[in-house]
Each structure stands twice: as structure tokens, then as C-alpha cells.
Amino acid sequence: MYAPPVTTVDHYKPDLRDTFFQLFEVLEIQKTSLGKGPFESMDEDSARASLEGFLEVMQTTWAPAFADGDRIGATFDGKGNVTLPPSYRKAFEAFHGGGWNKLELPESLGGYGAPPTVQWSAFELMAGANPSICFYMLGTMMTKIIDRFGTESQKKRYVQNMLEKHWGATMVLTEPGAGSDVGAGTTKATHVAGDEYHLEGVKRFITNGDFDLTSNIVHMVLARPEGAGPGTKGLSLFIVPKFWVETDGTLGARNGCVVTKVEHKMGIKGSATCELTLGDGAPCRALLVGEVHEGIAQMFHVIEYARMGVGTKSMATLATAYHNALEYTRVRKQGADLAKQTDKTAPRVEVINHPDVKRMLMQQKAFSEGLRAVILWTASVQDQVFLAGGHGSPEARQLDALNDLMLPLIKGYASEKVYELLGTASLQCFGGSGYCEDYPIEQYIRDQKIDSLYEGTTHIQALDLFFRKIGRDKGQTLTALMQQVGKTVETLPAELGAEKAALAAALGDVQGIVGAMLGKLGQSIYHVGFQGNRILFALAELVIGWRLAASAQVAQQKVASAQGEDAAFYRGKLAASKWYAKNVLPGLSLTRKLIENGDLDLMDVTDDQW
């Protein structure tokens, strides 16, 4: 029996039950975040209702446009203008028309005052329903950046315009000759007068550099003022609108920042990846943000948001892929039970009954739910940052550092592991059908692959983790995180003995890995180059195991009194945690040995030997 194809309308399979479990049963944000400080207007009921209402919009307007982005894509006219599929406009208007952009805004800007835990829960729904549309909504984030760092004049010209007219926005860093080496950028900024500059240069791989859903797009551009020093410290941040914004907030002439090319890509074809040419044929007018030359520090707030977003996008993709695979394997019949394979008269069974399919499903379940747990735990740290005075507040310093430590794990590990599992587990559950457009898996794979590339490739995340997030404070933040893991190990009950033993061993392995690498660093920095990714993966897998065990601890307390679907849900939590403890965490011992025994032999391989 063949399972019916999944239409583009119903491809998205969300899991709000697990999100609510993490938010209100594990993290208990109703006690730690909601109703406090900047989140005082939101309680548990309104948080639940907001996410349920938002999911309805995602399922009715965003998910149906999923295939259009791939089949129709973003169309470039060669004259600087990009047109999106009609269904994208419907999704865009439903998002803003329902006021859902306010989920991301503080009350001071007319928003709902939702904490990051709720905001990132909503972002998962967006990214799972239609990842190509997500970053067309970047205008809200950039509004907050201008509101925080802009001068009063700049805020007057842009903030309300961006909020009320739903202007788009982009982050503009990459250049053709620089790639991920942002500090090598050569785009020039020439001072005109006051806070106005003219920019000249070419930027590449600019996500959504043009689109036809809004009356204006605000490009946030890193450029180097004349006379500024080299590297990232010499870069400044500029507001560069598609249409110039006059001092009274009205739109002026078309600015000299024009899309000159749109990339033809493997996936996320509905997201226009653009080459943006500045100052060719017409002046590219720009305003220096805050009239201060602190570009990379200002832009890093956007970069960190984007890295968290990329990791969340990957997790969301694996989560919906898992639920699609689960649905398919429950109805697709093929082969007899393995124990009866020699009996030619044995009935065919649903493929979910086959051991290897169960293994692949559990891989997807454990990693998708584990990544969600890690992401929302990190979001809860961000909640506490705001409650402690916000980013940069002395009272929030340690929390800020903990959040910073988590970002390369979320972005780097999620993007790599999800791509692996989409191909080796999600698609594999469908067999040959998964390779066809009848099902969404093949598009999931193509749309997700970008995640390990943009906002810093995986190895860039690994180097950032080791040198900046661990090395900068001599391992203090990492030690604090390890202590939290250790406390959980101590409190795990006997029923979670497998998790207790595996986590304790994995914790020792990660500590051994860091110690070994510090020793090798004295020999050569190339050791970090060879082993950096392994270090990142090992720490991420430890943290995932920790959050799965913490979730299992809550499930263990509730399963005895639960009934029906709740009882099954909690038993599933226990099964996922135990499987992960037995099948993933032991692998950290091998990783430790590989790092301890690592050498530099590859550095001796000359070019003519490849």
C-alpha cells in the first residue's frame, strides 16, 4: 500500500506540544520570565494563545507558499527589481496584517513584550512552514537596531516608517573578494556632511537584497570610511535605503544601491540572494549609524540574531521532516516483519515496524527535540539577560557570555547534523518516494544546506567557539556551563541511570578534550584547525544530552499520573533520552581519543600530492 502524497498545503508538521513542554514544564518561564520586567504584560495564557494563533497563520498562508518559492522562485528583471511569487505577498500581508511582527517588538515600540523564549518558539514555526520567507521579515529586527544605536534624527526618519509601513531590511557584509573574511571588505565610505556618506563598492550574497512586497528596503551596510584602519575594526555601519528617506520621513529619489545580479541556487530559491552594487551611476547615499564608527560591534547584534535564527531554522526543518517521515512510515506497508522474513505467506507490515526504520525515526526524534530543548534553554538565558538589564549591562555580563558560548553550538552543530539526518534518516524513511517532488523532503534538504554556509561556515563557528568563547575568558564560561551539567547529573534519579552514567562519562570526555587541545595549542595552532569541528560537535552533543536528560527528569515525574496522549508523550521523552545516552554520548570517548592522538601530518602533504 502506498502512502498518499503530501501536498504543498499541508507539508508543515509542527510540534507545539513539545514547545509548550519545554517552555512551561521544563523551563517554567511562567515563573522565571513572564510577567516580569519588560515581559510583564505577557502571561502563560497569552503566550500559549499567541503561539497557537501564530501557528494558524503559518499553516494557512506560509506553508501553502512553500513549493511556490522553489518552483517559481524569485524573478530578476535585470534592472534591479526582484519579483516574488503571488503567494508570498499573501503570506507577508497575513503576517503584518495580523500584527504578528509585534511578537518580536518590546512594548516601547508598540509590541507585545514577548520574551526571547516565546519569540524563538514563533521563529521555529516560521522557519518550519516556509524558510524562504523568514528573512523577508528582517525589518523588525533592524528597526530595533536603529532604535538602539541610531541618533534621534535617524530614529525619527526610520523607526516608525519601518514599523508602520513594514519596510524590509537586509544585513550587508559580504564582498566578492572577501567572502567570510568580513574584515577584508573594501567598500568605501566618503564623508559628505553631518552623518551622511556616499558608499562605493560591490556586496555579494545579500539575502533578499530586493523584493516587491514593500515600499522601501533598508540596507544595513558595513563599509570602510576613508582613512580608517584595516580589518573589522575599521568598518562602520551605515543605513542605506532603497529609496532615500528625507528628514521629515517622506520618500525621496531612488538611491544608488541597486541589485545587479541574483544567484541561481541549490535551494531557498524564493529567497533572493543578491549582488548589490553601491554608487555605480548614481550616488549611494548613507547615514552613519549613531554618528559613531563602531560598525562591527553594532552589526554583531544582528549577526548573533542571524546565527541563532539559522540554527533554529535547521532544527525546525528536521522537526517537520521527522513528523512527515513518521506519518509516512505509519501507513506505508512493505515487507514482512524481520522475524518472519522467511515466511512467504507472512503479512506485509507498516515500515515503522522494521528495526532500521525505528532507528532512523528515533535519530530524528532525539536530535530534533534535543536541539529544540537546547535552543529554548539558550533563549531562556536571553530572557534573563533582559531581566538583568539587557545586553551590555554589568549585571548581565555572565549571562551574556553564556549566551555567546551557545551560539556557535546552535548554529554550527544544528546546521551540520540536520543536513546529515535529512539525507540519511528523513529521506531514507520514504525510500525512492522521498527523492521525488511528491513529498517535501527533497526540498527540505536543498533549502537547509545553506545553513552550514551563511552567517559563518561551520569551521568559522568552531574557531569562534575555541578562541573567543572559550579562550577569551580562560574557560570561565565553559566551566560554569559544565558545572550546570554536573549538577543535573547529580540529581538524576535511579530510573534515569543510563543517562546519569553516560552524561558523567561524556562530561569527563569534553573536559579531557579541552585539556588536550590546550596542551596541543602550545605545539601548533594548526591542531585547532584540524580538530576545531570535533570540539564543537562534542560540546554540542554533550549539551543536547544534558537537555534531553533534564527533559526526561520532568517526564519521569509526570508519567505515572499522566493518561492518554500525555502518558505517551512522556514515555516518548524517556525513550529519546535513553536512546541518546546509549547511542550518541558514548561516541565522545572516541572523539576524545582522536583529538588526543591528533597530529599535523596533513600539513606535510604538498600541493602536487592531491
C-alpha cell at 227: 582613512
Give the span between the Cα atoms of 384 and 389, in whole angstroms.
9
C-alpha cell at 543: 549539551
C-alpha cell at 379: 533563549
Which DSSP helix (H) or strand (E) runs through 91?
A: helix 86-97
User: 415, exposed or middle or buried, with CB in 10 Å at 0-12, 13-18, 19+?
Assistant: buried
From the list 262, 205, 207, the residue with the least C-alpha distance to 81 is 262
Query: Where are the strands (E) in 342-430, listed by range?
Result: 348-350
SS3 of 297, please? Answer: helix
**Catalytic position from the list 275, 455, 499, 541:** 455
CA angle 453, 477, 22 (to 5 degrees): 70
Give the span between the Cα atoms of 114 and 104, in whole angstroms.
7
Contacts of 25 (CB under 8 A, 6+ apart): 554, 558
Q: In 3-state terms, the chain is what percent helix, strand and coil (to 5)?
A: 60, 10, 25
Task: Indicate if 455 belongs to the active site.
Answer: yes
Which DSSP helix (H) or strand (E) runs through 575?
A: helix 564-583
Give the span between the Cα atoms of 324 and 414, in whole angstroms.
19
Give the span between the Cα atoms of 361 and 509, in whole angstroms.
27
Give the span between the Cα atoms of 145 and 155, in whole angstroms.
10
Which DSSP helix (H) or strand (E) runs through 224?
A: strand 217-225
Give the span between the Cα atoms of 107 and 41, in whole angstroms.
9
For 72-90, letters b (16+ CB in 10 Å) and e give: bbbebeeebebbbbebbbb
From the list 91, 172, 100, the residue with the least C-alpha distance to 136 is 91
* Under 8 Å between Cβ of 54 and 125: yes
Give the span between the Cα atoms of 403 and 408, in whole angstroms.
10
SS3 of 247, please? Answer: coil
Please report how the helices 44-57 and 116-129 are oriented relative to each other, as an axis angle in degrees rounded to 10: 20
* Under 8 Å between Cβ of 271 and 205: no
* Under 8 Å between Cβ of 315 and 368: yes
Instruction: Write out the catalytic residue numbers.
Output: 455
